């Protein structure tokens, strides 16, 4: 006899969320559901049995996430007589193509992959399952990034971190006390990642105003409703206060859904994310192991908001006409910065050459409307203070970043992606260097 299949609530109710759409296009509502409770392990196991019966299931965790939730979930699944294979990664796994192959070999004939963990373990399970069209569920262990619900995974291919499409999980099960007790640094990282939306949304509006008009107010509208529960509570997040940390976690889940809804990462990833990708991609060259995604993004937020602050001070007459030489100069620096990866980066930068060359006419033309957007962004001092108030250090030294590596990213990360961000605007308005120096002062 098989038990009835339980359906849990979707993270975003399709009707309510579509009310915020301003672009009049279709936004297929993501199906991902959430069950949250002390008994999430038991419920997951029962659901797994009810849906998949005797079909094989693969469970993934590492020693750390095994200790807080994975081993317990394994017991529940075994008690429900789920046909289970367990794979435990070594401590601090890296989402490499080689490890993806290991997971795919193990998941060859399974009906479901379950990840217990945060960024990396989630990406390993999600990407492997997605490649083979296998169902994927996850049990998050930290409110550290917004990737749980997103349609992408960060995988390192031939030494270079890439963002690849991957189907979001069908179901998420969360244990509130595990989320609440996640290490401080992970909570601080999630706090930075969810707040990136505040700047990336304006980046997206600027790009849309200058070029494609593709902006939609829906992702921002979705976030505005929940923002108050975490954005003004850094101390509580630092101390592990239940309502602030769970509020943060739900904000992160929603932020991932917002990206899926928009069909692009633009609502949650602008110039502030480029510096983080820059440092991830530079690992094989510098040997610096990347810091948590959210913390590097936090540094990027300080830079982006410093750019907006400098841009706010300019009038139309201050704008230099320098698009062509600026492109040539920036492109000329790529080989020295990227070595063996220079061709790939040069190709990305070249993809936005045509757009950038229009800046000499477009920026002055749209300056008044752009200023209205610039005015909406808080100062870098505001964010630096907010991040430090979580109680964990927030500076370059804590993130093992040298002043030189920071400046290199500030001035050159806009070349690694096609998307137009505030870093391009600041460069063409002639204030990127000054803004980077402002940010550096706040990151000492």
**Range in contact with Zn ion (rule: CB under 5 A) among 46-54, 185-193, 226-234, 345-353:** 185-193
**Range in contact with Zn ion (rule: CB under 5 A) among 45-53, 60-68, 189-197, 228-236:** 189-197
Q: Output 46 or 193, the one with its CB closest to Zn ion.
A: 193
**Range in contact with Zn ion (rule: CB under 5 A) among 114-122, 165-173, 209-217, 390-398:** 209-217
Nearest residue to 424 via CA among 204, 260, 167: 204
Whose structure tokens read 């429900």?
80
Q: Minimum distance from CB of 262 to Zn ion (Å)?
A: 8
Q: Is 64 in the site for Zn ion (CB under 5 A)?
A: no
Q: Minimum distance from CB of 398 to Zn ion (Å)?
A: 19
Q: Minimum distance from CB of 367 to Zn ion (Å)?
A: 26
Q: Is 193 in the site for Zn ion (CB under 5 A)?
A: yes
Whose structure tokens read 């990708």?
277
**Range in contact with Zn ion (rule: CB under 5 A) among 5-13, 73-81, 187-195, 422-430:** 187-195
Please tell me the distance from the alpha carbon of residue 161 to that of residue 152, in angstroms, as a whole number: 12
Q: Output 35 or 279, the one with its CB closest to Zn ion.
A: 279
Q: Minimum distance from CB of 175 to Zn ion (Å)?
A: 23
> Does residue 433 contact residue 409 with C-beta atoms inside 8 Å?
no
**Range in contact with Zn ion (rule: CB under 5 A) among 127-135, 193-201, 342-350, 414-422:** 193-201
Q: What six digits make up the tokens of 377?
A: 């962004």
What is the C-alpha R_g of the chain?
Answer: 22
Please tell me the distance from the alpha carbon of residue 57 to that of residue 112, in angstroms, as a whole number: 5
**Range in contact with Zn ion (rule: CB under 5 A) among 7-15, 191-199, 311-319, 344-352:** 191-199
Q: Minimum distance from CB of 27 to Zn ion (Å)?
A: 6
Rule CB under 5 A: which of 214-243 touch Zn ion? 216, 218
Contacts of 360 (CB under 8 A, 6+ apart): 321, 322, 323, 428
Q: Output 114 or 121, the one with its CB closest to Zn ion.
A: 121
Please tell me the distance from the alpha carbon of residue 390 to that of residue 298, in angstroms, as a whole number: 13
**Range in contact with Zn ion (rule: CB under 5 A) among 178-186, 211-219, 351-359, 411-419:** 211-219
Nearest residue to 416 via CA among 299, 408, 429: 408
253 exposure class (CB count in 10 Å sphere: 0-12, 13-18, 19+):
buried
> Does residue 93 contact residue 154 with C-beta atoms inside 8 Å?
no
Q: Minimum distance from CB of 200 to Zn ion (Å)?
A: 9
> Does residue 380 contact residue 305 with C-beta atoms inside 8 Å?
yes
Q: What six digits make up the tokens of 293?
A: 């995604």
Q: Per-residue string for binding with Zn ion, 13-52, x by CB under 5 A?
A: --------x-x-----------------------------
Q: Output 261 or 323, the one with its CB closest to Zn ion.
A: 261
Please tell me the distance from the alpha carbon of residue 307 to that of residue 421, in angstroms, as a whole number: 11
The dihedral formed by the CA atoms of 195, 207, 352 and 289, expressed in degrees to the nearest 10: 0
Query: How far apart, in Å, are the Cα atoms of 209 and each of 24, 324, 370?
Result: 17, 21, 8
Q: Output 194 or 377, the one with its CB closest to Zn ion.
A: 194
Please tell me the distance from the alpha carbon of residue 206 to that of residue 74, in angstroms, as a whole number: 48
Q: Output 70 or 169, the one with its CB closest to Zn ion.
A: 169
Q: Minimum distance from CB of 160 to Zn ion (Å)?
A: 18
Q: Output 23 or 84, the one with its CB closest to Zn ion.
A: 23
Q: Output 216 or 422, the one with its CB closest to Zn ion.
A: 216
List the beta strands (DSSP E) in 63-111: 84-88
Q: What six digits make up the tokens of 27?
A: 């936004």
Q: Minimum distance from CB of 15 to Zn ion (Å)?
A: 14
CA dihedral sign of residues 151, 348, 367, 210:
negative
Q: Minimum distance from CB of 141 to Zn ion (Å)?
A: 18
Q: Output 148 or 338, the one with its CB closest to Zn ion.
A: 148
**Range in contact with Zn ion (rule: CB under 5 A) among 171-179, 212-220, 233-241, 323-331:** 212-220
Q: Minimum distance from CB of 154 to Zn ion (Å)?
A: 9
- Report helix angle 271-281 to 293-312, nearest 10: 130
Query: How far apart, in Å, are the Cα atoms of 14 and each of 218, 257, 266?
Result: 12, 11, 20
Q: Output 70 or 143, the one with its CB closest to Zn ion.
A: 143
Query: How far apart, in Å, are the Cα atoms of 223 and each of 152, 203, 246?
Result: 20, 16, 15
Q: How many residues bind Zn ion (CB under 5 A)?
A: 5
Q: Output 218 or 439, the one with its CB closest to Zn ion.
A: 218
Q: Minimum distance from CB of 196 to Zn ion (Å)?
A: 6
- Which positions touch Zn ion (CB under 5 A)? 21, 23, 193, 216, 218
């Amino acid at each position: 006899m098989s038990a009835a299949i339980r359906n849990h609530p979707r993270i975003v109710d399709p009707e309510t969320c579509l009310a915020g759409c301003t672009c009049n296009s279709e936004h297929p509502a993501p199906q991902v559901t959430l069950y949250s409770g002390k008994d999430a392990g038991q419920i997951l196991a029962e659901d797994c049995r009810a849906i998949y019966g005797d079909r094989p299931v693969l469970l993934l965790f590492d020693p750390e996430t095994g200790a807080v939730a994975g081993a317990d979930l394994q017991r529940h699944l075994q008690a429900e007589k789920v046909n289970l294979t367990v794979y435990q990664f070594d401590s601090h796994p890296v989402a490499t193509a080689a490890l993806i192959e290991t997971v795919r070999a193990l998941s060859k004939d399974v009906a479901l992959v379950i990840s217990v963990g945060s960024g990396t373990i989630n990406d390993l399970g999600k990407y492997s399952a997605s490649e083979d069209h296998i169902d994927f569920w996850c049990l998050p262990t930290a409110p550290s990034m917004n990737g749980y619900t997103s349609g992408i995974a960060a995988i390192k291919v031939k030494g270079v971190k890439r963002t690849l499409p991957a189907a979001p999980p069908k179901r998420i099960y969360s244990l509130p006390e595990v989320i609440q007790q996640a290490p401080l640094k992970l909570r601080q990282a999630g706090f930075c990642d969810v707040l990136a939306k505040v700047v990336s949304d304006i980046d997206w509006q600027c790009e849309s105003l200058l070029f494609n008009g593709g902006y939609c107010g829906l992702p921002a509208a979705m976030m505005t409703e929940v923002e108050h529960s975490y954005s003004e509570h850094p101390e509580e997040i630092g101390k592990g206060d239940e309502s602030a940390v769970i509020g943060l976690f739900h904000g992160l889940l929603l932020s991932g859904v917002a990206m899926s809804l928009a069909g692009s990462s633009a609502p949650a990833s602008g110039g502030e994310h480029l510096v983080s990708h820059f440092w991830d991609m530079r690992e094989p060259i510098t040997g610096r192991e990347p810091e948590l995604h959210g913390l590097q993004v936090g540094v990027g937020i300080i830079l982006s908001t410093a750019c907006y602050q400098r841009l706010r001070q300019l009038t139309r007459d201050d704008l230099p006409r320098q698009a062509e030489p600026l492109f040539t100069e920036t492109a000329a620096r790529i080989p020295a910065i990227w070595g063996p990866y220079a061709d790939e980066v040069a190709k990305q930068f070249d993809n936005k050459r045509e757009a950038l060359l229009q800046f000499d006419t477009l920026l002055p033309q749209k300056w008044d409307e752009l200023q209205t957007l610039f005015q909406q962004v808080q100062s870098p001092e505001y964010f630096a203070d907010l991040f430090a108030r979580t109680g964990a250090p927030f500076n370059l030294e804590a993130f093992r970043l040298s002043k030189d590596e920071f400046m290199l990213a500030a001035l050159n990360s806009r070349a690694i992606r096609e998307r137009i961000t505030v870093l391009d605007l600041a460069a063409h308005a002639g204030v990127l260097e000054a803004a980077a120096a402002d940010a550096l002062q706040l990151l000492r």
